[in-house]
Structure formats: C-alpha cells, structure tokens
Amino acid sequence: MSRKCEKDTQSNNSLLNYFAVLDNASQISSPIPSQIKIPELLEDDGSSESEGEMFKSDTHVRVLEGAGDWKAHRFSEEPFPTRKGEVRMRNFNDLKLNDEELNGVLSQRMIAWSISNLQRVPELNFYAYVKLSLEAKELTDITAIKKYHFIQYLDLSFNKLTTLQPLGDLPFLQYLYVSHNELENLLDFKAPFYLTYVNFSYNHVKKMPDLKDFWSLVHLDLCFNEIEKIEGIESLRFLSHLDLSHNKIQVVENISNLRLQTLLIRSNMIDTIEEEGKGVGISTLHLIRTIDLTYNNISSLRYFEGCYNLETLIIAANKISSLTDIYCLRSLIHLRSLDIRDNPICCLPYCMSMCYRTLEHLHELNGDEVTAKKRVMSKFTPNVEYTLRARLDRMELLLLEQMNQPMIGAHVVPCDFPPPPIILLAGPPGSRKKEIAFEFAMKNPKAVLGVSHTTRQRNAEEVDGRHYYFVDENKFDYLLKHGEFMTVSESYGFRYGISFRELAKATTENKVLVFYTDLSAALMLKLMNMCPKIVLALPKREKTHLNWLKEKYIYQFINRDLVLIRNCPACVREVKAVELSTEGSTVSSESTIASTDQNTSPASHDYLHSISGYIEGAGFICLHSRNCFTMGQKPSYGKELNEMPAGKFDIVNKESHVSQCKTCCIGYTDASTETTERCDKCVQCDTLAGSSVNSKRDVHKGISFNNSLDSFEKTESDWSDPLQDVIHKSVSDSYLLQVTNSSKSANITHRPLLSVLSKAQVHVNETDSAKQETIYMTATETFDMLQQEHLKVFLEDVMDNRQQLLELHNENIGLFRDVIFTDEIDDALRRLKNILKYTIKNHIISKEDFNIKEDPVYKKMIDKKLKKIGMLQNVHSKKN
Ligand SMILES: Nc1ncnc2c1ncn2[C@@H]1O[C@H](COP(=O)(O)OP(=O)(O)OP(=O)(O)O)[C@@H](O)[C@H]1O
C-alpha cells in the first residue's frame, strides 16, 4: 500500500487538550491503581442496569469512586457506537504518510488522525479521546501508543504486529481488537485494570498462557489460531463468551465451573470432552446458553446432560450415532434449537420422531421450525412383543410361586433393603457380552458378576459356578417350582434363570451386580421393579458379529454343543418342513440313531443318513441328507457305532472294529460283518459298480449308506437335489483332486473341522494314504457345505434377533441405558464404568432402622420430662 507523505501542520485544540491531559497524567505516578481493586464476584440478581454488568451496583460505585463517568468495568457488545459521541477530527485517508510510517511504524500523527470519542478523564476532570482505530495500516511497531494512557477502545486488526508489549501502558483499555496479525503470544503485555473484550482471532497462538491477570475478561475470541490445548482460563470468573473455533483442540477441558454463556469450538479435532465427575466437565457450566461444536468427532450428547440453561446446541457434522443420546437431552427444558445434521444418527429411521417426542421445548431442529403438526405426525411404533413375552414369563413365575410353596427370604416384599443395583448386559448370542462382563468385573472392584442357572452343557473353557450354574432339567424344574428364580427364559432350546440368591452377592458385599442375559430376562427384572440398568451389548458391525458367531458355534458344535444349533427355532422349522415333504417315503433313520437328549426335537433325527462317523475326541458326526446335521458327544447323541446300521462309514472308530473291504479298499464298520472280508454293502456296491454308474461306487468310497438310503440311490434323477449333488460331486475323482487342492488353502470355516480331523487317528487303510486323504477332504468338504447351509439358517436367526434389538432400541428410547460395542472394548468398558458410577451415585443406600432412643426430639422430650420431675439432675449427678 503506498501513501503519499504529507506533513500535517494543522493544530487542533481538542487534540492539544488531549496531550495536555496526557502530560499531566504521566506526571502522576499511578493515578488510578491505588483506588481500583478487583471486586468480589457477586451473583447477578437481575437488578443490574445493563445486561453485561456483573457487579452489584453498590460495589460498582464503591470501586469506581473517582472514576467519574468511566464506568470502567461495564461491558457492551457494541462499545462506542459510531453514531454516539464519535468525534473524529480527520479522515485518515487524507494523511500523507512518511517512509517510516509506510514501513509500519506508528507515529503520533497517525494516532492523532485516527483517534476519536472524547470523554472525561477520571480524577482530573479533563477530557481525552478514548477510542483509537488503526486497522489495516500495515503496522509492525506500535511503541508510540504508550503515551495514550486513556485509551479504552483499541482496534489494531489487519496489521502485521508480532507483539503487543506497548499496550502494557494503557491501564484503561477495555476493548482490544487485534485479529489478523502475526501474534504468537496471547496477551503478552501488562494486564490493564478492566480489559473485558479481546478479539485475538486469525493469529498464530499455539499455547494459551495463564490469564489470571486478565481476570476481567468477558469476551475472548481466539478463533483461527493454532491452539492445541484449552488452558489458562480457569480463573477468568467473568468470562462469558469463549470462541476457540478453527484451532487444533482435541479435548474440551479446563473450563469447569466458568460462567460461560457462549462456547464456540467448531472445526477442531475434538473427540473427548472432560467427563462429569468431581465437579468437572461441561455440565458444570450452569450458565451456558449456546454451544457450537460443529465439525468435530464427538460421539455422544451425554456431556450436555447437566447444562440446564442450554438454549442452542449446534453439534452438526460429528459422530453421534445413538438415539439414546437424544434421550440425554430430555431434561434441558430451555433447549430451543438443536442442530445434529450430518451425524450418523440422522440416518436412523426414528431420529426425527425421537427428537420431536423427547425434546418437547424444541423450536428449531436442524435449521427447520418444529411445528405442532410435525410433532403430531411423528411416528411411534412401540414394539410390544418383547414386553409381552416378558410379562407372560413373569406371570408364569408368579403362578408357579402361588401353586408351590414359595421360598420366604430376605427378598420377599416388604423387605428391609431396596433392590440391589444391577447392570445387565443384554444382547444376541455370540455378541461376546460375557467376555466384556468378566473384564469389567475384574477391573472394577465395585462390580460383581451375577451367575445364571442354565440347562445347557458346559463348554471346555467354562467353569461351573463362574460362568453359569450348569444344572440338568430336573434340577432346574425343582428350583423353579421352589420359587428360586426371579427370571426364567428359554434360548435356543435351553433354559436360563437368575436366582434370588444371586442378589445376596450385591447386598452383602455392597456392590453392583452385573448380569449377561437376553432381553426377556432383563425385562422381567424390570417388571419386578428391580430397575436394572440394561445395556445393549453387541458388536458394531454385522460382519464381525457373523464371524464371531461362526467361530464360536462351529467350535462349540465340533466339541459338543451342536444341539444349540439344532434347536435353533429356524432349524427346527426347516426340519419339520422336510419331515412333511418326505412323509410317506421310506426314509427313516429313527431306528438308526436316537438321541438320549430329551430336549432335541425328534424331527431333527429323522433324516440322519448320508454320512456319519465317529471322530475321536470330537464325538459322533452325522450329516443329514438335507441341510441338516447333528453332532455331539457320543453319550448324548447316537448309539454306539456298532449299533449303527450296516454300511455306515466309519472314519475313526477306536471302539468298534475297523474292517476293510477288499473290493474298494475302504475301511468300514459293520458289527455284523466285522469278521468278514467283504461287507454286504460292498457286495451290493459291486453289483452297482458293475452295472450302471461308476460314481456310485465312488460314493461308497467316501460315504456308505444305510439301508434306507438305497431308495434314493436307485434313480439318477435323485442326484438333481442340490445337496445330493454335492455328495455326488464330492466323490467323483476329479472333484476329489480339486477338493484336496482347495483344502490346502482352506478358509477359516474349514479349519475347526480340519484340525479335529487331523488330530483323529485313522485306522483305515494305512497303505493307501492318498485315499485316506481323499476321504478326509471329501468328508470335510461335504460336511463343510452342509454345515454352511445349516449355519446359514442359524446365523440368519441370530441376525434377525440383532436387528430386532436394534429396532427396539430405536423405538423405545430409554429402554437401554446405553449401547456398547463389544468389538470396541476400551470404549465399552469406559461406558460401563460411567454407568457403574452413576448407579452407585444414585442408589438409595438402605438406612439403618429408626432408633427412637437416638432420636433428638425424643431425647429432648424425655429430658424435659425428667427435668420436670427433678430426676435429670440426679441422673446427671449419678453419671458424674
Ligand atoms: N440368565 C439368563 N436369562 C436369559 N437368557 C440368558 C441368560 N443367560 C444367558 N442367556 C442367553 O442364552 C444365550 C446363550 O448364552 P451363551 O452364554 O451360551 O452364549 P452367547 O450368548 O453366545 O455368549 P456371548 O454373548 O458371551 O458370546 C444367549 O442368547 C444369552 O443371552
């Protein structure tokens, strides 16, 4: 910018006056400081004259004695309005600047041409200009400003300043504008007495120093800097407006208990907000009215739960994803405007309805007006199914209690203590809620795990009494009839129950009980007014959940727990459908294999043929011909192999004899033919081999069939069944080769079975290892495909359950206290810890029984009476 330099010779009376005042003032050492004291903070009772005033008027007057009209600590968003009192002598543009001035050195000439607003100076009864606007003058040196002690309003924005040291000589400075400079140090000058307004935006501040000397700050604008941490403002008791937008802040901290009314921190990198607790956190800002946190990474609205005066919350473009967060805002009765645009939560179907229903005082949502019509139209479809089921279960329990002799225990109402605090992790199967619960209980001594009873079998890694109390059906029935259970529910064919005795853990140890159950058990506890804090626990992504399920249930299945899958309602439905469709056919394996488990549906045994075998250590595998298979420990499922029908193929059998068919060189087990060299089937197969399809002979290689299967072996068309096709294919030579190769790069679903198979000792034909390998691969592949088919049904069922729970959560806000993602363990544990803290804080601790003798009123009354009859002195004297 080039300006012509021209010397100003015009004198100005007012200006001279001003300098005279300055000269006088500079002679007086410390003209005001001795009289100005930092006033004590008084609550604003609304009686103050101006809106920004924060002192009681009498204090104000006392403090400002001698300050005349200056009203030093008054704050107004629009100070020195131009139309009022503005006396500007010159137009700065008419001033011709010299070289020095052009190089950014401030001169008195420049000041004289920019100063305005004549006001009376305190104490001296002189007048002085108090407003100086020097914006966009390319200034680098402002030393000349030092002499102008009475400046109250200073605008130095759009310059090239790197320091503000000279401002230390302006004790009356109240309004400071230094935006768009090159300042790296925030307020690096001696603090004026009443600096109230600072605009420090668009500079290069990286670190906030301790601003305790600038105690009088009311408005601090620090947007567009490079600040990484909020600090140094803890003692700014009058700070009402703080703008930290467009910085590099990650955590909202050190703002607790400030009297902020506006907090703007948009476009930072905030993912954490100091949590409430011990008087810290955003909830301690009791006067806060506006918060803007747009463009950050905040994932919850719970931080604002305690900001009771909040009117506007702008939190667009963050990571809020849960509808429970909306529920957290329900107590903010002053909340008029909420902006949650561009958050994942907005994609949820009930988001808007939830806001309309939960936030009754809202006038504006995401920039749109909230009308009565919108509120009325908001959809609400509560899912009553779950509640109904829980009610029915609860009713059943009550009936049982009535019909049998109930157990009278400490829990029976009316009882001495309130229900113990309970946190309950509810989620679909395979969601690893158990793992989270264990870890949580381990890390938090205030939490204790509640153990449920179950009729399901124990897994290898589970401990009786720690994971569950494993009981049989009879024991479970016994406990149920004797009123031991608070909840009972069935999940995939097994029964689960929470006993009253578990409550004792919480009451005697004074801890919070943590259970992991399904939702119906949780609802039953709710129906009993146990007030559990129900937390929905599930992996965030469906894919992860599916993987976990596969991993868990394939292993369980191989070990012992297939019945879980077999009894999955969807599977039972499917089996029944197959049963119906094959009615009348000759297929029946009821005679071949019968389960000793009474829980299993008979339907699932009906189609047991195709492949079966006994794998050492793994139990007895049976692959059904139609998308269904069973597997389990030998004692539970299936008869001894030697009881199996002739021709069953035996992969490994340590108990029964392994024979070898001389024709096909494959081992088989056949009780009736164990001593013969050739089984009946082989004879039969030879016949087939000689006559028609060669592959039928191959079939015998991999799989031998029981009698009943002959019926579908006879016609070619039977192979058109996709599953049979698989079996058919799996034994063709080329396919065998293919399978062998592909199995080498087997994917994860192969592994569990492969590992079991590889451990198995095979006594088939040791001389023909290639064939042996082929058998494995064939069986594995076939098994795997069938397994996948079957698992698919199970997985679909669980995924349905997952979906239902999520919908329920969306529709019934508040039902779940929180949602935790079990694949984000740290976050899940943190959330649970918060709930634990909340639960402990809000739990009504049982009070001791009322003791009349300790009651002060009673004592006083007795004393009075004793005194009246002259006995008190005697009592006291006796005591002495
Ligand atoms: N006390 C209970 N009342 C009702 N249902 C229960 C109870 N305890 C467990 N369940 C349910 O029984 C089913 C099987 O539980 P189990 O612990 O065997 O496996 P899981 O749920 O797959 O385990 P995880 O979720 O820890 O991976 C689950 O759906 C679970 O919610």
Instruction: Give the three-class secondary structure for 469.
Output: strand
Query: What is the C-alpha to C-alpha distance for residues 99 and 112, in angstroms, rounded to an integer?
Result: 18
Instruction: Select from 215, 1, 191, 29 the least CA-distant residue to 92.
Output: 1
Closest-CA residue, ligand 1 atom 6, reads 517
Instruction: Select from 511, 505, 533 the least CA-distant residue to 446.
Output: 511
Query: What is the C-alpha to C-alpha distance for residues 408 and 439, in angstroms, rounded to an integer?
Result: 34
Q: In Å, how far are 116, 219, 231, 650 from 212, measured between CA atoms?
A: 31, 14, 11, 85
User: Does 429 contact ligand 1 (Cβ within 6 A)?
Assistant: yes
Q: Are strands 197-199 and 241-243 parallel, antiparallel or unpaired?
A: unpaired
Ligand 1 centroid from CA 516, angstroms:
7
User: Does 452 contact ligand 1 (Cβ within 6 A)?
Assistant: yes
What pLDDT score was predicted for residue 506?
78
User: Does 567 contact ligand 1 (Cβ within 6 A)?
Assistant: no
Query: What is the C-alpha to C-alpha distance for residues 185 and 292, in angstroms, rounded to an integer?
Result: 25
What pLDDT score was predicted for residue 677?
41
Three-state SS string over 133-159 comes to: ECCCCCCCECHHHHHCCCCCEEECCCC
Counting from 1 in the atom list of ligand 1, the atom nearest the Cα of 427 is 31
Identity of residue 240: S
Start-end of H helices in 456-518: 473-481, 501-509
User: Does 801 contact ligand 1 (Cβ within 6 A)?
Assistant: no
User: Does 496 contact ligand 1 (Cβ within 6 A)?
Assistant: yes
Three-state SS string over 795-845 comes to: HHHHHHHHHHHHHHHHHCCCCCCEEEECCCHHHHHHHHHHHHHHHHHHCCC
User: Does 626 contact ligand 1 (Cβ within 6 A)?
Assistant: no
Please give the ipTM for the structure prediction: 0.96
What pLDDT score was predicted for residue 196?
92
Ligand 1 centroid from CA 192, angstroms:
67
User: Does 433 contact ligand 1 (Cβ within 6 A)?
Assistant: yes
Helix then strand count (H, E) for the chain reads 25, 29
User: Does 518 contact ligand 1 (Cβ within 6 A)?
Assistant: yes
Question: Is residue 267 within 8 Å of 239, Cβ to Cβ?
Answer: no
Q: Are strands 452-454 and 468-470 parallel, antiparallel or unpaired?
A: parallel
User: Does 498 contact ligand 1 (Cβ within 6 A)?
Assistant: yes
Query: What is the C-alpha to C-alpha distance for residues 343 and 351, in angstroms, rounded to an integer?
Result: 11
What pLDDT score was predicted for residue 240?
93
How far is C-alpha 551 from the chain's CA centre?
A: 25
* Cis before 414 (ω within 30): yes
User: Does 430 contact ligand 1 (Cβ within 6 A)?
Assistant: yes
Long-range contacts of 577-582 (CB under 8 A, 24+ apart): 578/606, 578/607, 578/626, 578/627, 578/628, 579/603, 579/606, 579/607, 582/607
Closest-CA residue, ligand 1 atom 9, reads 517
Q: Which domains does the chain have, with CATH numbers?
A: 387-539+822-842 (3.40.50), 580-801 (no CATH), 849-880 (no CATH)
Start-end of H helices in 6-144: 13-27, 57-63, 99-102, 108-112
Query: In what helix (H) or strand (E) does residue 769 lie, and over which residues does it extend?
Result: helix 769-811
Ranges of residues in the chain with a pLDDT under 70 are 1-90, 122-124, 276-279, 379-385, 404-417, 508, 554-791, 813, 844-853, 871-880
Identity of residue 669: T
Ligand 1 centroid from CA 430, angstroms:
8
In the DSSP assignment, the letter for residue 48 is: S
Ligand 1 centroid from CA 452, angstroms:
9
Query: What is the C-alpha to C-alpha distance for residues 696 and 703, in angstroms, rounded to an integer?
Result: 10
pLDDT in tens, 550-592: 777 764 443 333 333 333 444 444 334 433 333 333 232 222 2
User: Does 698 contact ligand 1 (Cβ within 6 A)?
Assistant: no
Ligand 1 centroid from CA 495, angstroms:
10
Query: What is the C-alpha to C-alpha distance for residues 291 and 283, in angstroms, rounded to an integer?
Result: 12
In the DSSP assignment, the letter for residue 210 is: -
Ligand 1 centroid from CA 482, angstroms:
23
Query: In what helix (H) or strand (E) does residue 535 lie, and over which residues does it extend?
Result: strand 533-538
Token reading at 461 = 């890694």
- The two most distant CA atoms of the chain are separated, in Å, by 134
Query: What is the C-alpha to C-alpha distance for residues 515 and 533, in angstroms, rounded to an integer?
Result: 10
User: Does 522 contact ligand 1 (Cβ within 6 A)?
Assistant: no
